[in-house]
Amino acid sequence: ENFPLVRLRLTTHPFWNPKYTALLELDLFQAIMEMADAYAKDKEEGVNSGHWDSIVDAFDDGDMKNFWTYDAARAFYFSSMILFPEVAYYEIIGHSYEERPIDVFSLRDDSFTMRAPKPNILFTSLHHAREVMSLQMNMFVFAKLVHGYLSNEADSHFLVQTRNNFFVPFVNPDGYSAISDYFLDEEKNPKHSLTRIRKNRHASPAKDCDWTKLGVDINRNYGFKWGFDDEGSSTDPCDEAYRGTEPFSEPETRAMRSLANKYNFKWAFNYHAFGPLYVYPYGYDGAYNDHLPFEFLEIFKEFEKECDLKDAKWGNARQTVNYPANGEAADWLLNEYGTFAFSPELASPSAYSKQFFPRHDAILPVLEYNLPAAIRGIWKSGPQLLINEIDNSRYFERGDLFEYVLLSFVVENVGLQDSYSTGLKLDVIANSIPPHVDVEIFQLHETLSIADAQYAHVWDKDITQFDHLLGKMN
């Protein structure tokens, strides 16, 4: 009782100085515009006005029965790119069958340099046009990172600085544009219903299909195990799983191949709907992970445990959707590039979310249910440090006026990349501070003096993938 209270806080997360701020209102597009004004004003005044809850409310209020039309969704991404050039970038990696651009938007801080290459992470949506929740999810993750970076949220700021995050919202822009156009067509569709177009718009000359059934299933047209059998894909041009005439016959898959060749992604989420299912390779033959290398399976299982998504089912195609899929994107990414690729089938535990066009009150729960896994995936792609096995024991030495506290800890790197700078930080948060406190890291052979509550020290130590650092403080 005669000794002052000293609390030591050990973290592996950097504490960033305020840099940018953002003000977000309910309307999504008004939010983007006002974010720019607030960004400049708050940066000048040194305040933080960001409110994530405000932008969340806009995501179930789209212009197409609570979803977003093709043009409106593109405007959202372009607004961010134009208004925040510090972190938002744009490129075209190809064009669709009907000559629409295949857009790629990325969030990254190129001014922030690291000793190791930054990992590249991919988020895609709308391989299948009717799976509109995949686009909502893509936009939601993008908005979360933009808002978090500009309003100086520690996690988002760190992940934009240390990772390169790529978003392809419209893998199938023709199919989604057809859904949007039909919805807006007063003459053909006076009730403004949503049609269930799945494939691209590449009609086959060999067979006359209904206008909603024509095209190629883009997610059966990738090169790995293309056409492996007629169960996991089809030769029928009117079938929903029609695989095309040959691997990469479609301009959309060729564009995705160019993107993967350029950036060699470490991690990927190819969003689909509906689930909730988190599907990972291999799914081409319906076997139970018989062909998946153990090191990949181990990471997939570890990620499942870290996410702890209640009611979600994890596994390959046979274990989740209960049918094979060959010529599929995640299988191809893993086989060709070693990418840890998922095909999440989006939903929440609610029964109302398990459909292609969920009702209004089911949209936000789906986005919020799946967002933590998206953020964890970005973390997992690079160095990810966890502090555990903390052992704290106290003892007194009779006659001395000092209290000795021994704290031992283990810092593990559970990410997929070596950590070249741990960001390991020790700072003091205390009710009162004694005149002098010595902190000795035995393994690191450093003795530090803490003079006041403002003290902080950061160790710059390398921790390789799956390795750990041992430390003791006295």
| Per-residue model confidence (pLDDT) at position 4 | 39
CA quadruple 36, 19, 141, 218: dihedral positive or negative? positive
Q: Which two tokens stand for residue 264?
A: 């060699």
pLDDT at 471: 55
CA dihedral sign of residues 384, 389, 392, 393: negative
The rounded distance, in Å, linking the Cα atoms of 191 and 19 is 48
Cβ contact 159:165 at 8 Å = yes
Nearest CA to 424 among 437, 436, 409?
409
The pair of structure tokens assigned to 470 is: 């041992």
3-state secondary structure string, the chain? CCCCCCEEEEECCCCCCCCCCCCCCCCHHHHHHHHHHHHHHHHHHCCCCCCHHHHHCCCCCECECEECCHHHHHHHHHHHHHHCCCCEEEEEEEECCCCCEEEEEEECCCCCCCCCCCCEEEEECCCCCCCHHHHHHHHHHHHHHHHHHHCCCHHHHHHHHHCEEEEECCCCHHHHHHHHHHHHCCCCCCCCCCCCCCCCCCCCCCCCCCCCCCCCCHHHCCCCCCCCCCCCCECCCCCCCECCCCCCCCHHHHHHHHHHHHHCCCEEEECEECCCEEECCCCCCCCCCCCCCHHHHHHHHHHHHHHCCCCCEEECHHHHCCCCCCCCHHHHHHHHHCCEEEEEEECCCCHHHCCCCCCHHHHHHHHHHHHHHHHHHHHHHCCCEEEEEEEEEEEECCCCCCEEEEEEEEEEECCCCCECCCCEEEEEECCCCCCCEEEEECCCCEEEEECCCCCEEEECCCECCCCEEEEEEC
- Residue 77 phi/psi, 5° resolution? -65, -45
pLDDT (tens digit per residue) in 245-276 = 999 999 999 999 999 999 999 999 999 998 89
Question: What is the reported pLDDT for 37?
Answer: 56
Query: How far, CA to CA in Å, does 2 sit from each of 96, 241, 393, 404, 447?
Result: 74, 75, 18, 14, 25
pLDDT in tens, the chain (474 residues): 333 344 445 555 443 322 222 222 224 444 445 555 555 555 555 544 454 555 666 666 677 878 888 888 888 888 887 777 889 999 999 999 999 999 999 999 999 887 788 999 999 999 999 999 999 999 999 999 988 887 777 788 889 999 999 999 999 999 999 999 888 888 888 877 888 899 999 998 878 899 999 999 999 999 999 999 999 999 999 999 999 999 999 999 999 999 999 999 999 999 999 889 999 999 999 888 778 999 899 999 999 999 988 899 999 999 999 999 999 999 999 999 999 999 999 988 888 788 888 888 888 999 999 999 999 999 999 887 776 655 555 444 444 544 444 555 666 778 888 776 555 555 544 444 444 444 444 444 343 333 333 344 455 556 666 666 555 444
Q: Taking Cα atoms as reference points, which of 377, 472, 452, 417 lies closest to residue 121?
A: 377
Select from 344, 393, 400 the least CA-distant residue to 373: 344
123 vs 38: CA distance, rounded Å = 28
Which residues have C-beta within 8 Å of that of residue 230, sequence separation ≥ 6?
none
Alpha-carbon dihedral sign for residues 156, 157, 160, 161:
negative
CA nearest 331: which of 347, 319, 343, 315? 343
Q: Which of 165, 164, 166, 162 is nearest to 13 (CA)?
A: 162
d(CA 101, CA 171): 10
pLDDT of residue 467: 64
Alpha carbons 136 and 69: distance in angstroms, whole number: 11
d(CA 133, CA 71): 16
Half-sphere exposure of 136 (CA within 13 A, CB side): 36
